[in-house]
């Protein structure tokens, strides 16, 4: 019953946190932890309270779940390696395109090390630490995916004054498919509101990279003009070089126009990027939600991994502290505790 009570508390915390702000990683932590606690509590209740056939059936189902978990993990690892192969073939040999394959291989290697490392304390010590780090960051991956999915599902239901379309890089001076999907999302939202009698202003946000002939914002403006978006409904923000600057500089342009008047705002980016962009929107002081647009399926795993790493880096002090505590705990079990026991029995 205590586990079920903990599950209820975690789910209530999720509801409160999500209602306050959908742009929080802790939403996924609360929901994932609550659901795991709920399932575990239900399983314990069934095993301890049912009798006869139903008790054996519940134990059998629990064993199946436990046995399927390693197979599921192996399937994820193989899938990531295969996806990395596809990504390298379609996007070229770049370091970021190696990420899915590297993560997949890591998922396979760590459990294998557990089986082959000899039972020597100083050899097992780093392996145990790797396993615990894998469990910790694996749990956070699930929480991040849950948070991202929840944020993608939610779509702003209000008419907006401004639509910020985030840049994502050009091929020389051409808008590539990834950026085109963002612009198409902005155009779709513009058309929907236009039919309702309130066409918003579109802010195209993105500076010029070293390998780009023009700024992203300039290319995005030309793209919108080709789709008959009026030029006087387009605002060009061409100074930003990252997502946080996209948000800050866009907000500055909007507030310069509004002169203290209230306004509503929505930003548009790809579905894999929308949650992190929402975090940066909050940091930049933008009180508006995001809309995620379609991304080619083969591109998603690597993109989500990069986004996940970026979110970890944003909160690196917390994660480094937890990693340090894990390392100290393992050292305590493998070094301090045996030495203390040996001292006691001398």
Q: What is the DSSP letter of 333?
A: I
User: Across the strands, what pairs with 150?
Assistant: none
Distance CA 338, CA 40 (A): 33
Query: What pLDDT, on a 0 to 100 scale, did the predictor assign at position 277?
Result: 92
* Dihedral sign from CA coordinates of 77, 83, 85, 88: negative
User: Across the strands, what pairs with 283?
Assistant: none
pLDDT digits (tens, 9 = 90+) for 30-62: 999 998 888 877 777 776 776 666 666 666 677
Query: What pLDDT, on a 0 to 100 scale, did the predictor assign at position 205?
Result: 93
Query: What predicted TM-score, i.e. pTM, was given to this entire model?
Result: 0.85
Q: CB–CB of 200/189 below 8 Å? A: yes
Task: Return the closest-CA partner of residue 76 out of 18, 142, 1.
Answer: 142
Q: Which residue has the tokens 């590297």?
A: 102
Q: CB–CB of 165/203 below 8 Å? A: yes
How many CB atoms within 10 Å of residue 34? 20
Distance CA 140, CA 130 (A): 15
pLDDT digits (tens, 9 = 90+) for 129-185: 888 999 999 999 999 999 999 998 887 767 889 999 998 888 888 888 889 999 999
Q: CB–CB of 270/168 below 8 Å? A: yes
Distance CA 100, CA 148 (A): 18
116 phi and psi angles, rounded to 5 deg: -100, -15
- Intra-chain end-to-end CA distance of the chain, in Å: 44
Domains located in the chain, CATH noted: 162-295 (3.40.50.620)
């Amino acid at each position: 019953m205590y586990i079920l009570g903990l599950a209820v508390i975690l789910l209530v915390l999720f509801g409160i946190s999500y209602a306050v702000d959908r742009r929080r990683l802790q939403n996924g932590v609360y929901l994932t932890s609550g659901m795991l606690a709920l399932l575990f509590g239900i399983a314990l209740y069934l095993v301890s309270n049912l009798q006869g056939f139903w008790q054996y059936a519940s134990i059998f189902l629990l064993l199946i779940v436990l046995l399927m978990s390693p197979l599921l993990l192996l399937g994820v690892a193989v899938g990531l390696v295969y996806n990395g192969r596809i990504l390298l073939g379609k996007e070229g040999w770049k370091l970021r395109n190696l990420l899915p394959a590297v993560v997949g291989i890591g998922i396979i290697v760590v459990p294998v090390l557990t089986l082959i490392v000899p039972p020597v304390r100083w050899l097992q010590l780093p392996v145990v630490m790797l396993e615990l780090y894998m469990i910790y960051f694996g749990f956070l991956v699930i929480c991040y995916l849950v948070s991202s999915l929840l944020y993608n599902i939610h779509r702003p239901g209000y008419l907006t004054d401004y639509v910020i379309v985030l840049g994502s890089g050009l091929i020389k001076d051409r808008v590539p498919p990834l950026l085109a999907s963002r612009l198409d999302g902005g155009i779709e939202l513009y058309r929907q509101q236009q039919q309702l009698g309130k066409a918003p202003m579109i802010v195209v946000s993105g500076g010029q990279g070293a390998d780009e002939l023009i700024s992203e914002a300039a290319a995005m403006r030309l793209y919108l003009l080709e789709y008959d978006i009026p030029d006087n409904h387009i605002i060009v923000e061409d100074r930003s070089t990252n997502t946080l600057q996209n948000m800050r500089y866009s907000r500055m342009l909007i507030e310069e126009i509004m002169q203290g008047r209230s306004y509503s705002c929505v930003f548009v980016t790809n579905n894999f990027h929308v949650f992190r962009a929402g975090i940066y929107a909050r940091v930049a002081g933008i009180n508006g939600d995001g809309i995620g647009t379609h991304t080619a399926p083969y591109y998603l795993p690597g993109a989500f991994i990069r986004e996940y790493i970026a979110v970890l880096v944003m909160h690196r002090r917390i994660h480094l502290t937890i990693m340090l505590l894990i390392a100290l705990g393992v050292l305590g079990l493998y070094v301090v505790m045996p030495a203390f026991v040996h001292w006691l029995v001398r």
